[in-house]
Homo-oligomer: A and B are copies of this chain.
Amino acid sequence: MGRVHTPHGSFDTPAFMPVATAGAMKGITPKQVRGTGSQIILNNAYHLLLRPGPERMARFGGSHRFMRWEGPILTDSGGYQAFSMAQIRDLNEDGVTFRSFIDGSRVHLGPESSIGIQQAIGSDIMMAFDDCPPARGELDASEYRRRVIAANDRTARWLARCIAAHRHADRQGLFGIVQGGTEPDLRRASVDAVCAHDLPGFAIGGVAVGEGPQAIHDTVRMTAPMLPADRPRYLMGVGYERDIWAAVQAGVDMFDCVLPTRNGRNGFVFTPAGPIRLRNARFADDQDPIDPGCDCEACGGGFSRGYLRHLFMADEMLGPTLASIHNIRHFQRFMADMRRALSDNLPTSFERRWPVAVQEAPPDRDDAEVTIP
């Protein structure tokens, strides 16, 4: 446990950061986000680069003023989205050139322009622009190692360029990202290269890119302890409660994930006993809240499962809003209770209160359905 201080306030670790992709938490006001207990949120540099763009973002004085979020903000580098989502035109040592999904224009993103948009956003924590190799897939062992080594090397060169381009080290912290795939010696090599720089925090990248859950946990357990103990350790894009709890036990401090909001928008809500689908007909006459133990605006406000189901069946925007608020609050209650349990050295009682933390897999897990936008 710990506490991280930023120019826009502090946050407790282990921390969960909900994702305000394009400068807004979908359907939720900043006041409602604060009401969930969230202390820090994430913006996506890729989305804000394309719209409203760095010049406009700078004119508005950055994301804090633009979206009216007064607390800490972390930005990713935009690289992951540019590599995975966009129609790539060119990828080389200078970065990636792709087509904007908004107007089809050619957009370049590399170490310098990633730092540029993140400086315009004015995030408290910026992420280095890195080269994230996909999972091993069909490659043989030596081909996979060659590709991971190349990504390690490029990540190290790009990190040096990010640091050189970073003009606001006094008010924006830059985190390095460690690659290395599932190979222990390559993880070690990347840690040595990345952590050679005196940066305020480090992230474990290249995880949950297609490898299985056991490989994810093995990689996190192997890598987290290699990172400096006196700097925040951030596991990007993870995940379900059990993934977070396993990573915290390995020494990770920070998490972000779109699960609470994306799943909430689809009527998939989290409870200490596991997730439920509000559209299910069995909730039609259910007058209980999603989780009687929850104090969120939905549960504490007395909105029943039956009413929330009605909202989803009727395509009422209020359903996604209330379910997202509940889900973020669920994750924040999970993290707050975890911080208390770790502080009291009572992890077993924590696991009794949150059986989802030790489940092999969420009982109702169905990514294919719940990740539809």
Residues of A within 8 A of B (CB): 22-31, 47, 51-52, 56, 59-60, 66-68, 284-285, 287, 297, 301-304, 306-307, 310-311, 313-314, 316-322
Contact = CB atoms under 8 A, between A and B. Distances in A.
A318 B284 contact: no
A310 B51 contact: yes
B318 A68 contact: no
B51 A318 contact: no
A306 to B, nearest CB: 6
Nearest to A301: B68
B302 A25 contact: no
Given A302-B68, A303-B68, A287 B29 contact: no
Contact of A297 (B22, B25, B29): B29
B60 A24 contact: no
B59 A307 contact: no
B318 A28 contact: yes
Contacts of A22: 310, 314, 316
Contact of A301 (B28, B29, B317, B322): B29
A56 B285 contact: yes
22 contacts: A22-B314, A23-B310, A24-B316, A24-B318, A25-B318, A26-B316, A27-B318, A29-B297, A29-B301, A30-B301, A31-B297, A51-B313, A52-B310, A59-B285, A60-B287, A60-B306, A60-B307, A66-B304, A67-B307, A68-B301, A68-B302, A317-B320
B60 A318 contact: no
A187 B216 CA distance: 75
Contact of A31 (B27, B52, B284, B301): B301
Contacts of A30: 301
Contacts of A31: 297, 301
A48 to B, nearest CB: 9
Given A60-B304, A307-B67, A321 B27 contact: yes
A52 B311 CA distance: 10
A65 to B, nearest CB: 8
